[in-house]
A and B are shown apart, each in its own frame.
Chain A
Amino acid sequence: MKWWRDARVRGIIWQVVLFLAVVWFGWSIYDNTITNLESRGITTGFRFLNEEAGFAILQTLIPFDESYTFGRTFLVGLLNTLLVSFIGVICATLLGFLVGIARLSSNWLVQKLASVYIEIFRNIPLLLQIFFWYFAVLQALPGPRQSMSLGEVFFLNVRGLYLPSIIQNPGFGWVWIALAVGLVAGYFYKRHANKVQNDTGKQLPGVRVWIAAALGLPAIALVMTGMPFDWEIAKLQGFNFQGGITIIPELGALALALTVYTATYIAEIVRSGIQAVDKGQTEAASALGLHNWQILRLVVIPQAMRVIIPPLSSQYMNLIKNSSLATAIGYPDLVSVFAGTTLNQTGQAVEIIFMTMGVYLTTSLIVSVLMNMYNRKVALVER
């Protein structure tokens, strides 16, 4: 047989040709872009990342002022995106599970309420919901001088929610150590409790002890060291409240909208997951004498998770990508700060959009990998 009639050899040749074509295609796009940008007198390259930014950002998780660089604005925006995404994912998961389970409740009112919530918030575009929470709800709050307050410690006004912050005095380190010890001790106790149950069938109060240890030990440490901390309460000074912790309304509105919107989808995913578990499982568990909550927690949800996880990871990725709508209400996320303000101040559109797309691609891939790892753990193990 001639070598070019060999299917395997031809396969390899085609693979190589295709690979070279893809590389050449990518390179010519890159080369075209650079040549065209230069011929039009547009500066290219990543040098701008080291230049002074010269503008301020509303919320920064790391130190930042006007004298920091554009590279720093990238970090600030990235962290703000991650913050709101993280809050959104946690809250949407909790709310979604709650509503999903409620929708299958035998209580007529609870079930209908869950259905109505899902149908309303799933069918309104997210951008409108963000506008609603921000402009209609949060912006209707009173000004700083007429703030609502709770015991003159917590304040709520149109500029945000003001919480007291903790100032740690020397000796506070013991509280952190106690917390760590409590968590580790609780973990080993829980393992012990599981082992006892596996060996003897006797149930020890595992999780409750864990929580008690994680809260109790730091409390004891606090008392022993003589309460080594102070509260800093926000005070109205001049135009605004100063001091304490401020949760800006932009963050509140965005996190709320993302949570409420994504939770409807998660609720439906949870519902379908639970319904996918055979009814016989519930009946069998019931026959064993487990009560409703135990049936749900020990029998139904673990099996439902196998159905729930894959679509749930898509929802997480959607939430992260949707957080870029922040730009509509001025929450300083990556798109608003970096692909917005920084792009406009420097004009380096190609580089900045490239970096921004890279960030969303990377975070989505990371979420996907983590969820797949979890999925493999809960997947049905066949013997």
Chain B
Amino acid sequence: MTVRSLLLAGLTLAISQTSFADTTLEQVKARGSLNCGVSTGLPGFSSPDSKGRWSGIDVDICRSMAAASLGDATKVKFIPLTAKERFTALQSGEIDVLSRNTTWTITRDTSLGLNFAGVNYYDGQGFMVNKNLGVKSALELSGASVCIQAGTTTELNLADYFRLNNMKYTAITFDTSDQTVKGYESGRCDVLTSDQSQLYALRIRLKRPGNAVVLPEIISKEPLGPVVRQGDDQWLNIARWSLFAMINAEELGLTKNNAESQKNSKNPAVKRFMNAAGVSPALGLKTDWAYQIVKQVGNYGEVFERTVGAGSPLKISRGVNRLWSDGGIQYAPPLR
């Protein structure tokens, strides 16, 4: 009898095929929460506090998407992922959106079945060394041991940079940023390389942050932003326009505090913002989705200041991440 039951089991397994009819938005609504893939803990970008509440600029992307799609910014389930795990988690549907300081590259955009929704932080790769070494420039680093996090664009840029400048190095690759910092602190390597923003974030976790200097060279472009699965245009648009709504809100002067009072503004651009679904019914969101984002999460500038900027322990200056109107390159297409 076992043979027959085995056969039957095999048959059912072979015939049954998973259906992908539901759109991501429908799945999120049915579940009542958004599954958001974040880093395993990077101050300023995504890290949990002692109560397990996540915060950071990447976390706020997910909160704004939850505010837009569910009307409640708190309905997000955060799933910490290492650099190695992140794409598979998104491809397999474990998460709805990956918001984890991920660099937008052509390989990732075209061959992984993924789409990048936009850029929430313009970054570049830098180096951090111990002050005692007396190194002033990255060009003096020939022969150094370098700690890197495995499976990142960082690893490739580093190889390119040292090859280009005819310098040698020893790569010591760790799985998580925690281990990378430990390796750097114990002296296993001379240099820690990563995106500059991360270097600042990792530096405040050192025992003696004052002993570490970040070298001036930036050796790459690292546009970081949220990623969704390919093939669901509606969801891609929601991710993209949630970010754009935050940037547009800053441009329009809408903030967490004045959003309420601006609801009946005479300014036509603000009017459109407050009734964003009127200009974008195909998104499948509630009338006031853009308003909910500003009301519950804040505009891009506010988020930047409190997570990585002046109002945070990281104290990173806005730099190129200023709005285009302030001389930066953050630029969102208009809501109209």
Contact = CB atoms under 8 A, between A and B. Distances in A.
B113 A158 contact: no
A39 B113 CA distance: 9
A341 B158 CA distance: 14
15 contacts: A18-B7, A25-B13, A39-B231, A40-B229, A54-B159, A55-B159, A55-B171, A58-B173, A239-B144, A329-B179, A330-B173, A330-B183, A341-B151, A343-B151, A344-B151
A311 to B, nearest CB: 30
B157 to A, nearest CB: 9
Given A240-B143, A344-B152, A24 B14 contact: yes
A240 B175 contact: no
A341 B144 contact: no
Contact of B3 (A18, A24, A159, A330): A18
A135 B186 contact: yes
Interface in A169-214: none
Given A28-B14, A58-B171, A14 B3 contact: yes
Contacts, number: 137
Contacts of B163: 66
Nearest to A39: B231
A341 B186 contact: no
Given A21-B10, A344-B84, A330 B170 contact: no
Interface string A105-145: 00000000000000000000000000000010001101110
Contacts of A344: 83-84, 87, 150-152
Interface of B: 3, 6-7, 10-11, 13-14, 17, 83-84, 87-88, 91, 107-108, 111-113, 133, 141-145, 150-152, 155-156, 158-160, 163, 169-175, 179, 182-183, 186-188, 190, 229-231
B3 A238 contact: no
Contacts of B187: 139, 142-144, 158-159
Contacts of B11: 21
A237 interface: yes
Nearest to A348: B111
A111 B321 CA distance: 68
Nearest to B10: A25
A251 to B, nearest CB: 12
Contacts of A42: 91, 111-113
Given A58-B172, A341-B151, A347 B87 contact: yes
Contact of A345 (B88, B156, B169): B156
A280 interface: no
A22 interface: yes
Contacts of A315: none
Nearest to B18: A36
Nearest to A330: B174
A42 B231 CA distance: 11
B230 A40 contact: yes
A290 interface: no
Contacts of A159: 145, 187-188
Contacts of A349: 87-88, 91
A47 B11 CA distance: 33
**Closest 9 A/B residue pairs (Cβ):** A344-B151, A139-B186, A42-B113, A56-B171, A41-B113, A40-B113, A66-B159, A43-B111, A347-B112
A344 B229 CA distance: 16
A242 B91 contact: no
Contacts of B158: 55-56
B231 A40 contact: yes
Given A139-B186, A240-B145, A340-B150, A330 B155 contact: no
